[in-house]
A and B are shown apart, each in its own frame.
Chain A
Amino acid sequence: MPGTTFDRLMREEYGKVLAVLARRCGDLDLAEEVLAEALARAAERWPREGEPAQPAAWLTTVARNLLIDRARSNPLEVEWTDAIAEQAEQVAADAPPDHGEFALEDDRLRLLFVCCHPSINQESQMALALRTLCGLTTREIARAFVQDENATAQRLVRAKRKIREARIPFEVPDATQLPERIDTVLAVIYLLFNEGYLAHETEPPVRTDLCAQAIRLGKLACDLVRRHVEAQALVALMLLQHARRAARVRGGELVPMEDQDRGLWHEDDVRAGLAWLDGAIACHRQAQRPPRPYLLQAAIAALHGRAGSSEQTDWPQIAALYDGLLAVLPSPVVELNGAVAHAMAAGAQEGLRRIADLEARGELSGYHLLPAAQADLLRRAGDAGAARAAYRRALALATQPLERRYLERRLHELET
């Protein structure tokens, strides 16, 4: 079996199939076990017999049958739930399992709510969502969170045990619990999107499938909680960022927004993102509350999306939105991005002054994007010597290959 095809399938189908199985047995560990067995059979049979037309359906059927076998042969360990009984009846009646795309997405949303349950701590929530919904390996998750692989594995084991022991339901919470749960779900959806937007380790580094999944989950969340400003704004934000996917990487190198060929931006996604933002703004006006982070970030992304070029971008407005964002989401990373926007609006020196402030506080020490932003601004200001030094500092910290190549090229240009 060509490893790449199988790996791709595994990534694309894993979350879908696992979500269906997990709902059916209410036990993530068991679902993972039978799915692993189904995948092993696929690895053995598909090269000989050819890949089935619907790989997800094939895997679900095989795993479902394994699940029923386990429940039958091991009644003490595997609870014979109503859902499993229903599956067994379907098999007995020789009926095909329900594979409607919507049913699958529904199950993924259920699984997402399980992963985001408030009785699981936040780091585990995200790790669990990446593992179960996106099929990332423990190693990839550990890298994404800059963590030890063993610690991540332990975290996942504990979280899954808790789901089973405390019986966290595979259901979307009802109207009384939904409002308090939705914020975490949105945070995890955006984290999934970001993992796809620039994966830390996986090949390819930009996983559009993961981004598309995150967008789908975001839209499903919007279906669940009508007129939720932040849910709609998050969908808008993701669409507007996703629209740039074809322009973001060129020749194995990350292309900063100002150098991107905007003709490559997906016009449909930009339009859809702007429409979602309009919807969010309309709800926001009715709610009469101060804007929250996703709305502000989507508004920033929309100003970029509407601009024909970096020069035509409304930088003063973007800088003002960053100030607003910093007020509701105080974070040194937001401050750094805001400093760059201020530089674009008021000149490189203004940005460098703000970054120097940030650097003096030491909150971003070890973060490669701080010297990278300094380097870009110094280059703009014409200070080649200081820019070179800053690019070297950034390179000493950067690990993501696409980012490294960009920094190396800039440094090389200044050296010749």
Chain B
Amino acid sequence: MQYIILIYGDERAYASAPKAASEQMHSAHMQYAKEMTEKNVMVGGSQIAPSTSATTLRLVGGKPVATDGPFAETKEQLGGYYLIECANLDEAIKWAGRCPSIQGGTIELRPLVKHAM
């Protein structure tokens, strides 16, 4: 069963954090990913660039039109994700709970939907 760990946090606070703190967070994520890979839990994952880099696409008159945004109106924005493979929700909760970004952020855990081929 695959679960996605969605990491939400205040990207402005993250951007203005001292360099040492960012480096520490980065190496904590490296360690976390390494351990999940060793345990055959990790399927994929990445940091996501801040919402200022986002492009929104909508159909306008039947054609996709790209615009700037969306602009973050909430306090927390999506900043990264991990895709993991676990036997059940409790196992996934254990791994998600160890995600370094839980410090100062929120972790959302969701199962992926498996469609029959």
Q: Which residues of A contact B (CB under 8 A)?
A: 76, 117, 119, 165-169, 171, 173-174, 176-177
Contact = CB atoms under 8 A, between A and B. Distances in A.
Interface in B85-103: 87-91, 93-94
Contacts of B93: 119, 177
A328 B94 CA distance: 30
B87 A76 contact: no
Nearest to A177: B90
Contacts of B113: 165
A119 B94 contact: no
A168 B90 contact: yes
A117 B94 contact: no
B116 interface: yes
Nearest to B87: A169
Contact of B89 (A167, A174, A176): A167
A166 B111 contact: yes
25 contacts: A76-B116, A117-B89, A119-B89, A119-B93, A165-B111, A165-B113, A166-B89, A166-B110, A166-B111, A167-B87, A167-B88, A167-B89, A168-B88, A168-B89, A168-B90, A169-B88, A169-B91, A171-B88, A171-B90, A173-B90, A174-B90, A176-B94, A177-B90, A177-B93, A177-B94
A82 to B, nearest CB: 11
A169 B113 CA distance: 17
Interface size class of B (residues with CB under 8 A): 10 to 19
A121 to B, nearest CB: 15
Interface string B62-98: 0000000000000000000000000111110110000
A24 to B, nearest CB: 15
B96 to A, nearest CB: 11
A168 B91 CA distance: 10
Given A76-B116, A117-B89, A119-B89, A167 B94 contact: no
B87 to A, nearest CB: 7
A410 B87 CA distance: 60
B1 interface: yes
Nearest to B110: A166
Contacts of B89: 117, 119, 166-169
Interface centre among B110, B111, B113, B116 (most CB of A within 10 A): B111
A335 B32 CA distance: 49
Contacts of A171: 88, 90
Contacts of A169: 87-91
B113 to A, nearest CB: 8
A25 to B, nearest CB: 14
Contacts of B90: 168-169, 171, 173-174, 177
A119 B90 CA distance: 10
A334 B113 CA distance: 46
Contacts of B94: 176-177
A36 to B, nearest CB: 25
A117 to B, nearest CB: 7
A177 B91 CA distance: 10
A169 B86 CA distance: 11
Contacts of A166: 89, 110-111
A117 B92 CA distance: 13
A165 B110 CA distance: 9
A165 B115 CA distance: 12
Nearest to B1: A167
Nearest to B90: A169
Contact of B111 (A76, A117, A167, A177): A167
Contacts of B91: 169
B45 to A, nearest CB: 19
A276 B88 CA distance: 35
A264 B99 CA distance: 58
Enumerate the 8 nearest inter-chain pairs by beta-carbon distance, A residue then B residue, closest first. Answer: A169-B88, A167-B88, A76-B116, A166-B89, A166-B111, A168-B89, A167-B1, A169-B90
A168 B87 CA distance: 10
A344 B87 CA distance: 57
A43 B110 CA distance: 41
A181 to B, nearest CB: 9
Contacts of A167: 1, 87-89, 111
Nearest to A113: B90
A299 B23 CA distance: 54
A91 to B, nearest CB: 26
Contacts of B1: 167
A75 B103 CA distance: 43
Nearest to B117: A76
A321 B25 CA distance: 49
A244 to B, nearest CB: 39
Given A117-B89, A166-B110, 19 more contacts: A119-B89, A119-B93, A165-B111, A165-B113, A166-B111, A167-B1, A167-B87, A167-B88, A167-B111, A168-B88, A168-B90, A169-B87, A169-B90, A169-B91, A173-B90, A174-B90, A176-B94, A177-B90, A177-B93
